[in-house]
Amino acid sequence: MSFTGSTQISDTSSITRDGRPPFDLRKLILECETNSYTVVAAVTRLILAREPNNSADAAAQDIDEWILQNERWLRSSNGSRWSYGLVKIHDFPAIFGNSAEGCSAITVTRPNFAMGYNILDLRRAAQIYLQPSIADFVMNFHRITQGVLEGLEWNNLFVAGGIVLGTLLSPSGAALGSETPAEFTNSDIDLYIHGLGPEAACRKIQEIYDVVQSNLPRDTSILVVRNSQTVTFFSKYPIRRIQIVLKLVDTPKDVLLNFDLDICAVGFDGVEVYMLPRAVRALETGYNVFTMDLIDGHFLGDRRASQQDRIFKYANKGYGIRFLPSYVDALRTYDSAGSSVLDPVAFRVHDLVTISKMSREWVSRLIDRYIRWGHTTRPTVVPGRVSRGTQESSPPEDRPVFTHAMLESRKQINHDFWSPRSCLSAFALLMRHVALWERNVKGHIRLQDDIWAAQVYSAINADGYSYYDNPKYPWDENFTFEGFVAHINAYNTGLVNAMLQDTASGVTPTYRVSFDALAKMGVRMTYASNICDILDPSHNIVVPIFLPRECVRLINQTVRAALSKAGVENPQMPLRVINGGTKDERDGIEDIYKMADANGDRVAVPVAWTLDRISMWQKIDRRIDEIFELLWASYRSLRRSFISHDSCIHFEERLLGIVDGSAGSRGRRDEYSAFVEWVNTTPLADRGNYGAMGEGFSHDTDSDREGSQDGFGSDTDI
């Protein structure tokens, strides 16, 4: 048997006579990115069993790099069946080496050490148990989902993410128990629709609704909630929420490939479980492998970026973040080469360990400072009137309560409205939040981990939500429709009030009336008692924005043409200019617009952007997705301040690039150059005169020598 760089092997039974493959065979297998992960993992496992001391590190490093190469091939393998290259449950014995017939679970004992640099792993389990067969998975999936999908026609449907992972990790058995892991108790059932157009997808939602309703106890109602990204079915707690993601994809593989975190890339099509190789590797190691896609990926690109809360959500579930040795080595390589990717204010410290140590020490000093200024068990979220002399005492057993928002000030706001703020914008900034999380896990503090600076200071702060969020309302035994509906109503009202307050100073009196009318039209979330109503025009999402009039015309023209090309009959225009006031007032405004146009000035007009039952779907046409992304950026800019002349020009330039195709696809920076730049980005210093605890408080301490003596700020593990 001969092998080449393109050798494909699909069976491990005849690798060698003694079942122990030679090292050069493993090398040849790894050189072929189209091989089955099952074969690659099985060969690597046999190598480790034969030479645990000499080859373990190299073998582990090789397989991690191979997974990255293999995924690039999976994205480009358009001619293959979509399931080719994905892992199924029946592959587990070969991958993990646990092949006992009739076993109640596949046992995965994780390595004690993973090469590279690892963070957020304090809750990582040393051993996990997996479903031993697809039959066991289906039985437990029905139990965990409480039978709400019983009788569902699974054609064009795929459930993915946390609920599938939770089921996979919940094998039945007397010794193991058959309860869902606590980390997944409240997981939604996330459904994706593939292979359908928007009208057919809406009919599929109706099918899902009918099935769910038929499986609920008699007289149990459903509340249907819709935002710009999802349609969600709520019933009484603890019946699981069903969330339909408003993204049309071609195949289930496309759903998996777009997941940000490795551990989430697992799904179920009603018959079989499918996983990306990186998801299986995450099960084996307890780590999500870092790539720059986590920072600047995109749903229109190969893989979407992550959000800060998801990173920490899965850290709490036991899955950390791992930087592969090649990334660590890249820092040293760029250092010795005198890389020019860094700006003048960068750290220029090419060492993850050193930056992490600096970040942990910074958090220690900040915790100290909060305590000295009187902080106790009430989380400080926004600047308050706390006197420096006021020291509220608390019982010795009470630990101070912190939030992620307390680590940042307004100085950390990203003023580029095209890029929403996140602690993932720099490695050092991320490590500050990691340090706070570590203190909570170790019991030094209590962390209220659902409050972030993005909700307190950023562009989207007035309502506290990103455009993909549902209202943050407790999902527990106290959940009621009445309370949730009141919360949604208050949320939409708060959006209107925040716009009137935050933007009034920048609104020209000439169209004050139009702006008031626009603000009151804003509906970010809507609800109904059935699916027909939620898809009715009366429940459309309406987003208030300001745009140049020429852009409004061009967007409407482009979107309608794209929808028509996609087979949509009588497509509606998404944008409508709002003209309020009397006829004389409107005529006066029109004269001002004409004068501005004659002078070459950019004037942004009040516009209502409507997402109806068709335009709510992503992935109908790439131009529509890119334009709508641009509109969300415009919405964020409105929430910060009145849109400027320069912003109008920037918007027009990007819009024209989308429409005429000159923008092209999102360019991809060199991975390691981007990583070095990200690692060396310095958080902005905060040495203001007024901070979260009052006058004179700042986040950056006056001296690096400040330290804690009370056990809150100090950390002997640094």
Q: What is the 3 state secondary structure string of 152-171?
A: CCCCCEEEECHHHHHHHCCC
Model pTM score: 0.87
Tokens of 35: 């091989």
DSSP one-letter string for 292-331: THHHH--TTSSSPPP-HHHHHHHHHTT-EEEE-HHHHHHH
pLDDT tens per residue across span 541-571: 999 888 888 899 999 999 999 999 999 999 9
Whether 73 has a pLDDT exceeding 70, the answer reads yes
In which element (H, E) is residue 701 found?
A: none
Locate CATH 3.30.460.10 in the chain. Answer: 84-323
Beta strand pairing status for 157-160 and 189-194?
antiparallel
The C-alpha atoms of residue 240 and residue 480 are separated, in whole angstroms, by 14
Least trusted range by pLDDT, from 67-71, 133-137, 301-305, 667-671: 667-671
In sequence order, what are the beta bridge partners of 233? 224, 242
Q: Is the pLDDT of residue 242 over 90?
A: yes
Is 244 strand, coil or helix? Answer: strand
Place of tokens 């009445």: 482
Q: Is the pLDDT of residue 339 over 80?
A: no
> Which residues fall within 8 angstroms of residue 339, CB to CB, at 6 or more apart?
673, 676
- Residue 548 has what pLDDT? 84
Percent of the chain with pLDDT over 90: 48
- pLDDT higher than threshold 50 for residue 695: yes
| Mean per-residue pLDDT over the chain, rounded | 80
Superfamily of domain 84-323: Beta Polymerase, domain 2 (3.30.460.10)
pLDDT at 654: 76
Containing 590, the helix (H) or strand (E) segment is helix 583-599
What region does 515 belong to: left with phi over 0, alpha with psi -120 to 50, or beta? alpha
Asked whether the predicted pLDDT for residue 245 surpasses 60, the reply is: yes
Structure-block tokens of residue 589: 């405004």
pLDDT band at 2 (very low <50, low <70, confident <90, very high): very low
Q: What is the pLDDT of residue 130?
A: 95
Cis amide leading into 238 (omega within 30): yes
Q: Give CA separation, 642 vs 417, 501, 506, 575, in Å.
A: 12, 12, 5, 19
For the cut 50, the answer to whether the pLDDT of residue 101 exceeds it is yes
Q: What is the mean pLDDT of residues 667-681?
A: 86
Q: For residues 492 and 248, give the distance between their C-alpha atoms in angstroms, rounded to a whole number.
A: 27
